[in-house]
Amino acid sequence: MVSSNRFMDTVSSWIRANTVKTDGGIQKTGFRIKHAVPPVFEAYALIYHPYRIPAGEIVFEWEQEIRAKRQRAERVTRMLKEEYGVAVGDWLLVALESERYNLEELIAQKLRAYGYTGSQIDKPLKAVRDGLLRAILQPLQNLVDASLEDSETADAEVDNRETQPKREISWKAIYQIYGLPFSDQANWSTLSRGVKPENRIWGEEMPEMDRMPQSVRSAIARFLKSRGIDQTAVGSRAAQATRSLAVEELPTVEDLYLIASPSRDWLFITPHDFCRTIIAGKRAFVADFLKSGYAEVSGLLGAEHRLDERS
């Protein structure tokens, strides 16, 4: 009698053995569903892994950069006026926003205008040149920080995308924002080739690749529970063999790229280098998932459907 774990192993082996081999012809034929899933199912479809953006107002990178520079300029301007009596006016803001300036020369000009001479100017300039952040002219430290690309403290008060709460956004919505045509061939490279970096949404995170994100695993678990299914065979990138896993555990287990029926009646799989999950099974099974509303999905597809973008 075949052991349970060994039986589960046959699912991943069966997939590898029965997908259509590309034989190096991807450039000509494109990467199709049949290259990732055995072409033996009645129907297929795609689940789109969601993009994530900061909660709140949607702001483009160029807008956020201007906001960050403006906040830095206002902070430095306030310190110069309060601690040194130096009225900067719009000079600092214009300099920061234009980026067409020599930092040392601008600092020296301003210091001379307020009576600083000789070593009074040389010492802080040398500190700037040497990258010493504890310059004598302490109020200009934020300006110095901003000029050092490798400074770990630059913009700490402004660029806080790591701590910003995130929200998920659909592919169709983000493509609409960028004014790009959306199709089932769209993949992770679409936006990077179609939108200039400065015109991307600030804090945007591309969808998870190679594995199913938590929201997709939860959607699959919810759908399987509704059909009375309580056991699956799952696979991760870290291990070649599949293993048994209860449906209720799917949302909590990371690094899954495969969730399948042990008897190979249906499967969900995320191909390598893709941020979409393929559903395969009987037509009614796939159609029911599409109608469930649990995730953003394509329409019903065939095994010949091309997953990569046409050149």
Q: Give the pLDDT confidence of 133-153 residue by residue, as tens digits.
A: 333 344 344 443 444 333 333
| For the chain, percent of residues with pLDDT exceeding 70 | 69
Structure-token match 């719009």, residue found? 90
- Tell me, what's the pLDDT at 260? 95
- Tell me, what's the pLDDT at 291? 96
Task: Give the Å distances, CA to CA, from 283 to 14, 292, 300.
Answer: 21, 14, 8
| Mean pLDDT computed over 64-76 | 74
Residue 48 has pLDDT above 70, yes or no: yes
- Tell me, what's the pLDDT at 133? 32
| Mean pLDDT computed over 201-216 | 91
Structure tokens at 72: 């830095």
Residue 211 has pLDDT above 80, yes or no: yes
Q: pTM score, two decimals?
A: 0.70
- Please, what is the average pLDDT of the chain? 77
Residue 125 has pLDDT above 90, yes or no: no
- In the three-class reduction of DSSP (H, G, I as helix; E, B as strand; rest coil), residue 100 is classed as coil
Residue 299 has pLDDT above 80, yes or no: yes
- Tell me, what's the pLDDT at 152? 38
Q: Which of 60-69, 98-107, 198-207 is predicted least confidently?
A: 98-107
Q: Tens of pLDDT along 254-278?
A: 899 999 999 999 999 999 888 999 9
| Mean pLDDT computed over 205-221 | 93
Q: What is the CA radius of gyration of the chain?
A: 27
- Tell me, what's the pLDDT at 194? 85
Structure-token match 């594995």, residue found? 211
| Mean pLDDT computed over 293-299 | 94
- Tell me, what's the pLDDT at 302? 95
Task: Give the Å distances, CA to CA, from 297 to 7, 119, 280.
Answer: 31, 67, 13
| Mean pLDDT computed over 177-183 | 85
- Tell me, what's the pLDDT at 84? 60
Residue bearing the bigger pLDDT, 236 or 39:
39
- Tell me, what's the pLDDT at 186? 78
Structure tokens at 287: 């159609």
